[in-house]
Chains A and B, each alone.
Chain A
Amino acid sequence: MSETTENNGYLLSVEKIHTYIGQFHILEGVSVDVAEGSITVLLGRNGAGKTTTLKTIMGLTPPRDGRVVFDSQEIQGKRAFNIANLGIGYVPENRAIFRALTVMENLKLAERKRGDLDRHADLIFDLFPDLSRLSKLKGNQLSGGQQQMLAVARALVPDNKLLLIDEPSEGLAPILIQQMMEAIRKLKETTTILLVEQNFIMASQLAERYVIIDDGKSVHRGLMSDLVQDQDLIHQYLGASIQAPLSKSEAK
């Protein structure tokens, strides 16, 4: 019953979406294209609308206007669980894992088909060896870094074509940032990724393409390799976020 839509070879196309939260017009025309098999990163200042963009794609804050095309299907306006079942995994910011559930239950809950976890257990525990050791602990007994690992691992349980990952490095110690980057690199081999990342160093090492969101609008896009050369652009839109890329997370 799906409406097939031409999609120019992109796995995900977000076209001029407008999203309101209550009375507030948060997204005023954001467009993002994500090519299959790539990592694309959303950059921008705090409050620019990066997280809302991910939530809008996921159907958690449905857009009032614009289109979201995933895998040749229009998905704007669908309910979040339907969108997820099309093959999109979501790793929210602030490590929204389920605190009352054990690590194993958190992973089990993410199954869409019986046996999803068994099939991907090797990959998951290979990427995050800590989790198998902690599997009986409750979510609220984990450290911040472990919670973040679990949040990413949870999105790997079912077969996903696309992962939306919101600030994976937030609040992580530098050594954990390295581990997280390794994990995301490895995921890229099998999955397409749309990333939100404040840590510019991490973003520039991981992503091939970027989209800058400013004040609820997507204002610039291109290849990451071009952006790192363009100090003016970085200063104009990212400002402080490049000044102290690692120290912010070290401070925690």
Chain B
Amino acid sequence: MSHNNKKILYIVIGVLLVAAIIFGLYSYAGQQAFIRTTLSGLTLGSLFFLVAAGLTLIFGLMDVLNFAHGSMFMLGAYAGWQFYTNPTFIFGILPLLLAFATGVMLIPLVKPLLVRLELSEAWQKRLPKLMYFAALVVAVLALINFDILGLAETAMVAATTTSSNPLAELSPQEPLLRFLWRPLLLMLSGALVAVGVSKPGDRTEISAYDPIRKRLILPVVLFVLTIIFTLVRESASEAVLLMDGNLRFGLSILAATLFGLLLGSLIEITMIRPLYVRSFFIVLMTLGLSFVLRELVQVLWDPLAYQMVRPPLFAQPGRATTIAEWLMNGSSTISIAGVTFPTYRLFVILLGLVMFIFVTLLMTRTRLGMIIRAGVQDQQMVEALGINVKRVFTLVFGLGVALAALGGIGAAPFLPVQPMMGDQYQMQGFITVVIGGMGSYVGAFVGAMILGMARAFGDYFALKLQLSPTIAEASTVIIMIVVLLLRPQGLFGKKD
């Protein structure tokens, strides 16, 4: 039998199998339960997809298993929750993060000068370490007496009290003049990191660079943003709190996603880039990073679980019968074919679909997507065509983390926001990637939906047949094992 016929045969068998499973479940559970469980499955699947999409792209392109991806999901949830409930904390530390990023992003400016320095080999090795140490010292100096716990508390208080005046929770912050030296010192700290990363004296790194104007763009933009956010540190929180709840929620989503993009890029540049030659260290590094981030969150917000208030569009008690009615009244539930389903979960399904379309368009219609698809196969050849693959790595890592952070904020209004919330999603994300095939975003989508369904129907059967609820968790692993036995490269994976 020819290769193509075999493929068609497998697809036909697959479709028949799926149809049989759907029909079996439908006739066993009945229409109502089937629709409800399916919708729950799609909700979970959407979140799994947002986590798995980043994992699979990052793994496919750079062979990096990001064990901190669940933490990115968790941080996205925290960032969105903070922004929505009380953004004082975010606007309080944003100038500091931006200042540090400005310093780090000086790399393309300082590197061409530094690599030309005449340094002995010993100093070439020593200098970066000294710089990192100096950066740490300067950063500590910058943060002395910075009341970060006080800032973090603002949202915790807001989460536990309900006041009619949205500005009641705002607490005064230290005056601008006393605050000012913190971003300045952090910029210096970032610049020291940039010097270290640039490998001073390493003449093999000498190469042609973009014109100076192009290299100035990023640092200048970041610098201007630093100044702006230093100035509006307090007024911005007020402005956000006075906004309409739905708009504020939209901005929270944007904020969490941008935060993910920035964080991911920084992690790639500072921590992962030096380790590409030793890929096993990356696993250890990201695993360690996930622990550090989780502890950091616990220090800031205590190991408690918070419930983010649902935005007004999904919050009014009552059941809408049509989508128009829901959008008009902001009903919390909607009736779909006789089944009552929370409107917010419908939104999560939509979010997953929209992001799948976004990723598909990005991969198929843009030059970046072309580079990624080509790079998955042969990075050296992409580089030999004149494309700076390292820069693409940074972008893809940032994008992947941004998707996970988006999943986090998407989950925040219906899952408890707590330090461990990402762990389960990371696990399911990895299983999704294995099922769908490493490096395939379509595989990630299909795999995520299969896992979502397995979880939802697993829960349904556990309840109905009085089995242990862990059957739902086990079902995803069982699916993974079956897929690995039948098709080790994953459903949409390519054989190497």
Binding site for B on A (CB under 8 A): 1-2, 58, 60, 62, 77-82, 84-86, 90, 92, 96, 98-101, 105, 108-110, 112, 154, 158
Contact = CB atoms under 8 A, between A and B. Distances in A.
Nearest to A60: B380
Contact of B374 (A2, A58, A77, A100): A100
A98 B377 contact: yes
B383 interface: yes
Contacts of B373: 98, 100-101
B380 A154 contact: no
Nearest to B381: A96
A222 to B, nearest CB: 29
The residue among B207, B209, B386 with the most chain A CB atoms within 10 A of its own CB is: B386
Contact of A81 (B205, B388, B494): B388
B112 interface: yes
B428 to A, nearest CB: 26
A86 B380 CA distance: 17
Contacts of A109: 367, 370-371, 374, 382, 385, 387
A62 B204 contact: yes
The residue among B112, B203, B374, B388 with the most chain A CB atoms within 10 A of its own CB is: B374
A81 B112 contact: no
A96 B494 CA distance: 16
A154 B387 CA distance: 14
9 contacts: A1-B208, A77-B206, A79-B207, A80-B383, A92-B381, A96-B378, A109-B370, A109-B371, A158-B386
A72 to B, nearest CB: 14
- Top 6 nearest A-B pairs (CB, nearest first) are A84-B386, A77-B204, A98-B374, A82-B207, A78-B207, A80-B383
B377 A100 contact: yes
Interface in B90-126: 112
B156 interface: no
Contacts of B389: 81
Interface in B197-248: 203-209
Contacts of A62: 204
B384 interface: yes
A82 B208 contact: yes
Nearest to B378: A96
Contact of A58 (B112, B206, B384): B384
B370 A105 contact: yes
Interface of B, helix, strand, loop or mixed by DSSP: helix
Nearest to A63: B204
B395 to A, nearest CB: 15
B324 to A, nearest CB: 42
B383 A60 contact: yes
Nearest to A74: B206
A109 B387 CA distance: 9
Interface string B367-405: 100110110111011111111110000000000000000
Contact of A110 (B204, B376, B385): B385
Given A2-B208, A84-B384, A90-B381, 10 more contacts: A77-B204, A77-B207, A85-B208, A92-B384, A98-B378, A100-B373, A105-B370, A108-B367, A109-B367, A154-B385
Given A84-B385, A98-B378, A110-B385, A78 B208 contact: yes
Interface residues of B, number: 27
A109 B382 CA distance: 8
The residue among A78, A105, A109, A112 with the most chain B CB atoms within 10 A of its own CB is: A109
A151 to B, nearest CB: 9
B57 to A, nearest CB: 14
A24 B205 CA distance: 23
A112 B386 contact: yes
Interface in B332-369: 367
Contacts of A90: 381, 384-385
B370 A101 contact: yes
A60 B384 contact: yes
Contacts of A78: 206-208
B369 to A, nearest CB: 10
A96 B378 CA distance: 8
B387 A81 contact: yes
Given A1-B209, A98-B373, A79 B378 contact: no
A80 B381 CA distance: 9
A62 B207 CA distance: 13
A5 B207 CA distance: 15
Contacts of A96: 378, 381
Contacts of A60: 380, 383-384
Contacts of B376: 100
Contacts of B112: 1
Nearest to B390: A79
A80 B370 contact: no
A110 B384 CA distance: 9
Contacts of A85: 208, 386
A81 B370 CA distance: 16
A98 B381 contact: yes
A105 B112 CA distance: 33
B384 to A, nearest CB: 5
Contacts of A105: 370
A77 B207 CA distance: 8
The residue among A92, A98, A99, A108 with the most chain B CB atoms within 10 A of its own CB is: A98
The residue among A1, A58, A60, A62 with the most chain B CB atoms within 10 A of its own CB is: A1
Contacts of A110: 385-386
B367 to A, nearest CB: 8
Contact of A84 (B205, B206, B374, B383): B383
Contacts of B378: 96, 98
B383 A79 contact: yes
Contacts of B380: 60, 80
B208 A86 contact: yes
A150 B382 CA distance: 15
Contacts of A80: 380, 383-384
A99 B206 contact: no
B374 A101 contact: yes
A86 to B, nearest CB: 7
Interface string B433-448: 0000000000000000
Contacts of B370: 101, 105, 108-109
A81 B386 contact: yes
B377 A81 contact: no
Contacts of B208: 1-2, 78, 82, 85-86
Nearest to B384: A90
Nearest to B364: A105
Nearest to A78: B207
